[in-house]
Chains A and B, each alone.
Chain A
Amino acid sequence: MKVPLSWLKEYVDITMPPEALAHTLTMAGLEVEAIEYIGADWGEDIITAQIAHLEKVAGSDHLSYARVNTGTEELGIICGAPNIKQGDKVPLARVGAKVGDLSIGEKKTMGYHSQGMLCSPRELGIGNDHSGIYILDPATPLGQKLVDVLGEVVFEFAIKANRGDLSSIIGIAREVAALTKQELRIPQPVLHERGRPTAEMVKVTVEDTDLCPRYSARIISNIEIGPSPEWMGRRLLAAGMRPINNVVDITNYVMLEFGQPLHGFDYDLVRHHHIIVRRARPGEEIVTLDGVKRKLTPDMLLIADPEGPIAIAGVMGGAISEVNDNTTTVLLEAANFQAASVRRTSVELGLRTDASSRFEKRLDPELTVAGANRAMQLMAEHAGGTVHPGVVDCYPSPPQPRTITFSTDDVEWLTAVKVTQHEVVEALSWLGFIVVPDEHSNSMQVTVPTFRPDVVESADLVEEVLRMMHDQPAGSR
């Protein structure tokens, strides 16, 4: 799991240098495998600039000559990219800069003097795109070192198999908040709902609730498919995902943010506007989003409409109802599928996706509506559109929260570490457990949050308390 620190900072203040934070998290069992410094190699001479004037180079079919303003001077640059126009803000590598292996010097081309180079995302190492120059946000100040504008520190985490909740930036932020005693800020989207209620627009039938404990659906209409905002694309790239379009990017963004995989269907392509969650029938087939026709077996869970399969639950959507350039209404799925079922299906089909690898680690069913609401908010902001009132939510048996009787003696029994009741209450509360201490003894009742299905009994809580004590207190004997 790759986490750009600027993104993490939306949910928690980071009070220490990245290396110290990495160490703190690693010692607490949240292993930082690598730290990537995007922009560390850009140096002083790749800066922000604005195209003041642009003209075609006579005698060339693709070159243009730009006068660019750095805030303090104007430089002439020969450029072959087709996407720039007057007024654009761009990354400029001045004479003396190094772009990858390329040293930038002054040169003469077709009678023009070129005093630098404008850079593409690929040249800067922040994306695959080499079709044009990286266009900066219009609000970017001129003459800034690019590293101060686009630089990023990215942590790569190795997530343990029992901690599905940490396959999300908010999950990691919760650990950071607990370990550094900072407040956690979770986005609380405010939606302006209008139009026909969702429940009148779509019907959802979950036939196999054993494999699908919860299925939540929302609808947004009158959207316009287009590119997602620059900051979102950059964050997705830094996290290792390729931007596609606003709707797809928002589903991916919220998946990374909350850990809840989402799938957008083109509402008009879901026949009879009826979603059926059921096991596949013998001989059924589906063409998935990657264009591959796949044979299904009856132990695989499907999303279907009355006429046939439209997605493989928790693994990949089908091509038939895919969001496309003409989509105007999105039916958004936020569901919870059984971990073992998704794992089996994904292995049988040889198809592992970002969604399936998350479902395999057991997700919190309480996440679905939070994730769907967040995606609706972002789609309304960045794809226009009308959020329809309400959620269609099939959630027949919400899990009862688990309560564990726990005591400071349990910690001492396994670790020989003496802790006070207050310390234990404090440590567990920071991690999101609800703790009611007993006033007459050193015991307490601990309610486990739904996002921690891995915590079952007192030994699990001992580990949590231990993780929160930074200085390896379990003294050697």
Chain B
Amino acid sequence: MFHQVEGLLIDEYCTMGDLKGCLERLARALFGEGRQVRFRGSYFPFTEPSAEMDIDCPICAGVGCRTCKYTGWIEMLGCGMVHPHVLRGVGYDPAKYRGFAFGIGPERVAILRHTIEEIRLFSANDLRFLKQF
């Protein structure tokens, strides 16, 4: 089973700067105002340039713990500027239009927001677990 929440925006003005601003705000809304974020270069077939966004670990506040594999950072999502071949594929001229896209695993967000250590709980249909939300 695989869940993903996706965001896509295409217009004549948006840039990677907007993408970063948007995702920074998202990270802070979900995990607190003080959250640090960083963007790492990455590869996805449908975006170019591509990046992955990390947030400083909400569990240890960036000090290093088991959840963040002692790096202080946790991978949050993948994102990037919509690849020109995707734009051309739907009839948009990449010289005129541009866009950004991102995808987040909702389980990952829930794990970090509610400090849930066992991913299988989401699909276990245990009412004791589900009633907490």
Contacts and interface: CB of A to CB of B under 8 A. Distances in A.
Nearest to B83: A459
A415 B84 CA distance: 14
Q: Is the interface on chain A under 10, 10 to 19, 20 to 34, or 35 or more residues?
A: 20 to 34
B18 to A, nearest CB: 5
B60 to A, nearest CB: 18
A26 B40 contact: yes
B7 interface: no
A466 interface: yes
Contacts of B81: 414-415, 459, 462
A226 to B, nearest CB: 42
A97 B41 CA distance: 44
B20 A474 contact: yes
A196 interface: no
Interface in A363-389: none
Contacts of B21: 476-477
A466 B17 contact: no
Q: Ordered nearest first, which 9 A-B pairs have the shortest CB separation?
A: A29-B41, A463-B49, A416-B17, A476-B21, A416-B15, A160-B43, A459-B48, A415-B16, A477-B17
B93 to A, nearest CB: 12
A323 B106 CA distance: 53
B41 A467 contact: yes
A46 B41 CA distance: 41
Given A415-B16, A459-B84, A466-B41, 11 more contacts: A27-B38, A29-B43, A414-B16, A415-B17, A416-B15, A416-B16, A417-B16, A459-B81, A459-B94, A466-B49, A475-B17
Contact of B98 (A29, A413, A472): A413
Contacts of B17: 415-417, 474-477
Given A414-B15, A477-B21, A462 B43 contact: no
Contacts of B84: 457, 459
Contacts of A27: 38, 40-41
Given A29-B40, A466-B41, A459 B49 contact: yes
Interface string A161-199: 111000000000000000000000000000000000000
B4 interface: no
A412 B39 CA distance: 18
A31 interface: yes
Contacts, number: 73
Contacts of B48: 459-460, 462-463
Contacts of A463: 41, 48-50
Interface of A: 26-29, 31, 160-163, 412-417, 457, 459-460, 462-463, 466-467, 472, 474-477
Nearest to A463: B49
Given A414-B49, A414-B81, A463-B50, A474 B42 contact: no
Interface in B66-121: 81, 83-84, 94, 98
A467 B51 CA distance: 10
Contacts of A467: 41, 49
Nearest to A476: B21
A158 B107 CA distance: 23
Which of B16, B18, B38, B83 is packed against the most chain A CB atoms within 10 Å? B16
Nearest to A468: B41
B77 to A, nearest CB: 15
B33 to A, nearest CB: 15
Contact of A414 (B20, B38, B42, B98): B98
B52 to A, nearest CB: 9
Contacts of A416: 15-18
A415 B43 contact: no
Contact of B43 (A26, A163, A457, A476): A163
A26 B39 CA distance: 10
A28 B39 CA distance: 10
A477 B39 CA distance: 14
B43 A161 contact: yes
A472 to B, nearest CB: 6
Contacts of A26: 40
A467 to B, nearest CB: 5
